[in-house]
Amino acid sequence: MKKLWIILLLFSFAVYATDQSNHNEKEEIERKRKDTIALVEKAAKFFEANDLEESFNAFTNSRDFLQGELYIFAFDMQGFCFAHGQNKDLIWKNMWNTQDDFGTYLVRQMIKIAQEGGGWITYEWRGASKVSYIKPVKKGDMTFLVGAGYYPHSKADAVINLVRGAITAFNKVIELGQPLDRAWGQMSYPLGQFVKGDLYLFAVRFDGLLVAQGERPSFIGSYTLDYKDQKGVPFNKLIIDKLKESPKGGVWVEYFSKNALKRTYAEKVTDGKGNNYFVACGYYPEADRQRVVDLVRKGYKFMKTSGLSIAAENFTDDRNNNFRYGDLYLVVRDMKGIVRAHGQNPELVGTNEWDKKDQDGRYYVREIVKKAEEGGGWVTYKVRNSFKSTYCELVQLGIGKYVVSCGLFPISKEETMILLAKSAAGFLRVNPIPNAIEQFVSQKGKFVSGDIRIFVCDTEGIFLCDGSRYDIIWRNLINAKDDNGKPYVRLFINTVKEGPAKVTYTIYGSQRVAYVQEVIKGSRKFVVGSGFYL
CATH number of 28-150: 3.30.450.20
DSSP state of 199: B
pLDDT of residue 311: 98
pLDDT of residue 25: 63
Cα distance between residue 526 and residue 520, in whole Å: 6
In this prediction, residue 27 has a pLDDT band, given cuts at 50, 70 and 90, of confident
* b/e map 220-250, b = 16+ CB within 10 Å: beeebeebebeeeebbbbbbbebbeeeeeeb
> pLDDT-derived band of residue 216, with 50, 70 and 90 as boundaries?
confident
Proportion of the chain above pLDDT 70, given as a percent: 95
**Residue 326 corresponds to which amino acid?**
G
Tens of pLDDT along 34-55? 999 999 999 999 999 999 999 9
- Does position 78 have pLDDT exceeding 70, yes or no? yes
Mean pLDDT in the chain?
A: 92
CA max distance for the chain: 83
At residue 127, φ and ψ (nearest 5 deg) are 75, 15
**How far is it, in rounded angstroms, from Cα 87 to Cα 67?**
15
CATH topology of domain 413-533: Beta-Lactamase (3.30.450)
What is 155-283's CATH superfamily?
PAS domain (3.30.450.20)
At 247-297, the pLDDT tens digits run: 778 999 999 999 999 999 999 999 999 999 999 999 999 999 999 999 999
- Coil, strand or helix at 196: strand
Which of 359, 360, 361, 379 has the alpha carbon at shortest distance from 369? 379
User: Under a CB-based contact definition with an 8 Å cutoff, are residues 357 and 380 in contact?
Assistant: no
Which of 35, 122, 26 is CA-nearest to residue 71? 35
With residue 232 as reference, give the H or E element that holds it.
Answer: none
Check residue 291 and give left, alpha or beta (phi > 0: left; psi -120 to 50: alpha).
alpha
pLDDT band at 192 (very low <50, low <70, confident <90, very high): confident
Rg (CA), the chain: 25
DSSP helix/strand/coil, 219: helix
pLDDT at 17: 39
**Is it the case that residue 2 has pLDDT exceeding 70?**
no
- How far does CA 264 lie from the centroid of its chain? 16
Is 50 exceeded by the pLDDT of residue 9? Answer: no
Rounded distance between C-alpha atoms, residue 245 and residue 268, angstroms: 11
The residue-averaged pLDDT of 387-392 equals 94
Q: Over 60: is that where the pLDDT of 8 sits? A: no
Per-residue model confidence (pLDDT) at position 28: 80
114 pLDDT above the threshold of 90: yes
Angle at 259 between CA 303 and CA 24, to 5 degrees: 110
Q: Where in the chain is the domain with CATH 3.30.450.20?
A: 28-150, 155-283, 289-408, 413-533
Is residue 13 predicted with pLDDT exceeding 50?
Answer: no
Domain covering 289-408, topology: Beta-Lactamase (3.30.450)
- Cα(307)–Cα(315) distance, integer angstroms: 12
